């Protein structure tokens, strides 16, 4: 039986009436990783918040373990983190860190705003990822600002979560972060994003950074040419039905 954790059907995500992703469809199974790639301002955060139900989709439907979010998050343990800027700066780091599992993940008693950016990012990630088991992990640009040790820790943790059966959605604007770790990639290159499976980019399924850059450029060129033909407005919404 296929263990689909995240099911996205013809979803259009919008922020303040601006469509950032249109008619996106895919399934993400337990143990699979989806990389969401896009430039600054391409709508990665909006799309990820739509996936976890913090934003209502303009069209379509998201289901987590067959249920609609945000109610689904009660039964499908989910980790979501959108970056260190979302942490309240006045809270003590040790107090925030204990909210994940009740255990102290950081003994530093300084206020979060007094920490370095890298430490804040690490604190947020460790708190969000501290719960286990996790069914769904959704991380927005998690490598942003991390030092090399923390980067290694994050990669190892994501692998461990995936191996224990979590579905992982992770976004980044730096392609080398995502190369080699994802089963599929969603390129937010225009209103109509492109979904590509890893083995479509590299036969082995292990995508290198160079191959990912090439694939992203191709998708962007295609989006640009589509927009030129339609005078800036996509004529049709392309869906990407996985396994169809």
Q: Which residues bind another protein (CB under 8 A)?
A: 15-16, 20, 40-43, 45-46, 49, 52, 54-56, 70-75, 78-83, 85-88, 90-92, 95-96, 98-99, 102, 127-128
What is residue 113's three-state secondary structure?
A: helix
CB of 82 to another protein, least distance (A): 5
Rounded distance, CA 34 to CA 148, Å?
23
14 or 179, CB closer to another protein?
14
152 or 174, CB closer to another protein?
174
E strands along the chain, which residues? 4-15, 18-29, 33-38, 59-64, 78-81, 136-140, 167-172, 184-188, 194-197
Torsion sign (Cα): 164, 9, 36, 113 = negative
Rounded distance, CA 139 to CA 49, Å?
10
92 or 218, CB closer to another protein?
92
CB of 239 to another protein, least distance (A): 23
CB 24 within 8 A of CB 240: yes
First to last CA, the chain: 17
Query: What does the chain come to in residues?
Result: 244
Maximal CA-CA distance, the chain = 57
66 or 71, CB closer to another protein?
71
Rounded distance, CA 198 to CA 47, Å?
20
35 or 69, CB closer to another protein?
69
CB of 185 to another protein, least distance (A): 20
136 or 207, CB closer to another protein?
136
72 or 178, CB closer to another protein?
72
CB of 65 to another protein, least distance (A): 12
CB 50 within 8 A of CB 57: yes
Rounded distance, CA 51 to CA 13, Å?
9
Rounded distance, CA 205 to CA 95, Å?
41
CB of 219 to another protein, least distance (A): 19
Six-digit token pair at 42? Answer: 């391409």
CB of 38 to another protein, least distance (A): 10
CB of 200 to another protein, least distance (A): 28
């Amino acid at each position: 039986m296929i263990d689909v954790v995240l099911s996205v059907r013809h979803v259009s995500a919008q922020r303040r009436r601006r469509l950032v992703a249109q008619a996106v469809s895919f399934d993400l199974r337990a143990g699979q990783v989806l990389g969401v790639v896009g430039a600054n301002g391409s709508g990665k955060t909006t799309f990820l918040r739509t996936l976890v139900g913090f934003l209502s989709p303009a069209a379509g439907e998201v289901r987590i373990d067959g249920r609609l979010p945000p109610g689904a998050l009660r039964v499908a343990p989910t980790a979501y983190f959108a970056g260190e800027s979302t942490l309240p700066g006045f809270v003590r780091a040790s107090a925030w860190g204990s909210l994940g599992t009740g255990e102290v993940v950081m003994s530093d008693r300084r206020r979060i705003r007094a920490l370095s950016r890298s430490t804040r990012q690490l604190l947020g990630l460790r708190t969000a990822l501290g719960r286990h088991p996790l069914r769904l992990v959704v991380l927005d640009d998690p490598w942003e600002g991390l030092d090399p040790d923390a980067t290694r820790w994050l990669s190892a943790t994501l692998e461990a979560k995936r191996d224990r059966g979590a579905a992982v959605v992770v976004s980044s604007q730096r392609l080398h972060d995502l190369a080699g770790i994802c089963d599929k990639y969603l390129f937010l290159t225009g209103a109509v994003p492109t979904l590509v499976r890893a083995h479509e980019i590299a036969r082995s399924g292990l995508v290198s950074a160079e191959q990912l850059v090439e694939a992203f450029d191709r998708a962007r060129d295609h989006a640009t040419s589509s927009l030129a033909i339609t005078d800036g407005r996509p004529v049709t919404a392309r869906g990407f039905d996985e396994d169809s």
